[in-house]
Amino acid sequence: MNKEVYSKTISLFQERFGQSPAVVAYAPGRVEVLGNHTDYNEGLVLSAAIDHGTFFAIAPAEGRECRLVAGDILHEVRFDVGAPAPSAEESWSNYCKGVLAGLLPRGRFDKGFNALFLGDIPQGAGLSSSAALEVTTGLAIARLYGIEVSKIDMAKIGQKAEHEFAGVKCGLLDQISSLYGADGMLVKTDFRSLEVENVPLDSTCALLVCKSTARHALVDGAYNERRAACESATAFFKANLSHPVTALRDVSWAEWESLKDKMDPLVASRSAHPIGEDERVIGGSELLAKGDVAGFGKLMFASHESSRTLFENSCSELDSLVAIGKATPGVLGARLSGGGFGGSVVMLVKRDALAEAAKAISAAYLAEYGEACETFAITPSAGAAVIKE
Ligand code: GLA
């Protein structure tokens, strides 16, 4: 948690509203380590909450009006507490308004609020700054209005905000990772049972995030298209397998291979990705438990290859970063993290080689693209919480 950003949140809040916040919440971003586009297919993911996040400071207002400020750009929106509606111009506000909309049926909202948020999650890096904003907003509002919400319900409220106010049909990965993070631990989630477990990351390794210069934007429809292809594939397997199929989680790699030639070729290759990823998360978890980090790293490379060739949610900048990682001493594995189509690559790096590897990767990327790529080591961190009231 970044203390400077916290202090700035409080001082900006006081300057804007002439009062101190009654509640401050914090939610981290996340990095996806293995299991890509499996969450909405009821599959498995290994992820981690990261040591960058968003603070949300809030205090009650006199009347019904809510004032909401984005602390980085100092834009403000105002709306009635009972009628949050999406805004095309101030699209940043939609994540917060969508969460308020999800909380309205659970409490009494007679009075509005003054709120301001500020964070240090790199934008456009695919590190789930929007989910962190949803979660931190939800925790702060729920506490201010005295509403009890379970972690899973809070994750679902954030997801609904994303679907209905931002137009991205995301799964639950980002919100769950932000809520269930633990220091030094990965978050292993089963998106069918919604069971979440913290598993340790080997202490000899670190996670290095390399932010490509290709900006990540899920709102452009490519994510929703991939999701639709997975749904078509599910319908196909349901009609062609003798056991029940409610999601791609129910389809094994062997079953996919036996039926792939009967499928629409694009739907076949799209569906191969989450099916293969589930198997990699199962195998990868076993390898991690045995301390076989080299084996785990190989699965990360395989995951990226599957993204690149089958799901086609990579891009040349991400592919180059993975190739650079593969050629860099101390890098055990590398893959795109999150939705794809830009954003970041996450690498598993031997801790003692981290500084040298980061330098070498930046230099190689600069030589290829003429622009630097930001690299930062990520410490798996504790999940979201109310931090002051
Ligand atoms: C984005 C979505 C998540 C998940 C990942 C891909 O981060 O928001 O729900 O689908 O992409 O694994």
Same-domain pairing of 277 and 313? yes
For the chain, percent of residues with pLDDT exceeding 70: 98
Q: How far is the CA of 81 from the centre of ligand 1 (A)?
A: 30
Q: Tens digit of pLDDT for each residue in 8-53? A: 999 999 999 999 999 999 999 999 999 999 999 999 999 999 999 9
Using the predicted structure, report yes or no on whether residue 360 has a pLDDT greater than 70. Answer: yes
Distance CA 24, CA 144 (A): 9
- The total of structural domains in the chain comes to 2
Same-domain pairing of 164 and 295? no
Cα→Cα distances 264→40, 230, 270, 312, 374, Å? 21, 12, 10, 16, 39
Q: Write down the pLDDT at residue 217.
A: 57
Same-domain pairing of 63 and 193? yes
- Residue range of the domain that includes 359: 208-378
67: exposed, middle or buried (C-beta count within 10 Å: 0-12, 13-18, 19+)? Answer: middle
Q: Write down the pLDDT at residue 218.
A: 53
State which ligand 1 atom lies nearest to the alpha carbon of 37: 12
342 touches ligand 1 (CB under 6 Å): no
Report the candidate in 296, 283, 127 with the shortest Cα–Cα distance to residue 204. 296
Using the predicted structure, report yes or no on whether residue 229 has a pLDDT greater than 60. Answer: yes
State which ligand 1 atom lies nearest to the alpha carbon of 39: 10
Contact in structure between 349 and 101 (CB atoms under 8 Å): no
Longest alpha-carbon distance in the chain? 66
361 touches ligand 1 (CB under 6 Å): no
State which ligand 1 atom lies nearest to the alpha carbon of 227: 10
Same-domain pairing of 165 and 225? no
336 touches ligand 1 (CB under 6 Å): no
Q: Write down the pLDDT at residue 6.
A: 98
| Angle between helices 316-326 and 293-306 in degrees, nearest 10 | 160
Q: How far is the CA of 339 from the centre of ligand 1 (A)?
A: 5
pLDDT band at 220 (very low <50, low <70, confident <90, very high): low
Residue with tokens 């969460």: 99
pTM of the model: 0.95
Q: Write down the pLDDT at residue 123.
A: 84
Contact in structure between 65 and 212 (CB atoms under 8 Å): no
Same-domain pairing of 191 and 273? no
State which ligand 1 atom lies nearest to the alpha carbon of 45: 12
Distance CA 368, CA 160 (A): 40
Using the predicted structure, report yes or no on whether residue 159 has a pLDDT greater than 70. Answer: yes
Residue nearest to atom 10 of ligand 1 (CA): 37
The token pair at 107 is 């409490």
Same-domain pairing of 187 and 219? no
Q: Write down the pLDDT at residue 153.
A: 98
Encode 353-387 in three state secondary structure.
HHHHHHHHHHHHHHHHHCCCCEEEEECCCCCCEEE
CATH number reported for the structural domain that contains residue 54 in this entry: 3.30.230.10
Distance CA 275, CA 255 (A): 10
Q: Terminal CA-to-CA distance of the chain, rounded, Å?
A: 17
- Active-site residue flag, 220: no
CATH number reported for the structural domain that contains residue 340 in this entry: 3.30.70.890
How many Cα atoms sit within 13 Å of 329 on the Cβ side? Answer: 4
- From 32, 300, 341, the mutation candidate for ligand 1 (largest count of ligand atoms within 8 A of CB) is 32
Contact in structure between 22 and 72 (CB atoms under 8 Å): no
234 touches ligand 1 (CB under 6 Å): no
Q: How far is the CA of 168 from the centre of ligand 1 (A)?
A: 10
Q: Tens digit of pLDDT for each residue in 256-277? A: 999 999 999 999 999 999 999 9
Q: Write down the pLDDT at residue 214.
A: 85
Q: How far is the CA of 37 from the centre of ligand 1 (A)?
A: 6
171 touches ligand 1 (CB under 6 Å): yes
Same-domain pairing of 80 and 216? no
Same-domain pairing of 285 and 193? no
Same-domain pairing of 161 and 257? no
Q: Tens digit of pLDDT for each residue in 103-126? A: 999 999 999 999 999 999 988 888
**Spatial strand order in the sheet of 344-350:** 331-336, 344-350, 205-211, 374-378
Same-domain pairing of 55 and 165? yes
Backbone Cα Rg of the chain: 21
Q: How far is the CA of 224 from the centre of ligand 1 (A)?
A: 11
Q: Tens digit of pLDDT for each residue in 364-375? A: 999 999 999 999
pLDDT band at 78 (very low <50, low <70, confident <90, very high): very high
Distance CA 69, CA 8 (A): 13
- Across the range 317-331, mean pLDDT stands at 98
Contact in structure between 377 and 358 (CB atoms under 8 Å): yes
Same-domain pairing of 213 and 96? no
Q: What is the mean pLDDT of the chain?
A: 96
162 touches ligand 1 (CB under 6 Å): no
CA 174 to chain centre: 3
Same-domain pairing of 179 and 324? no
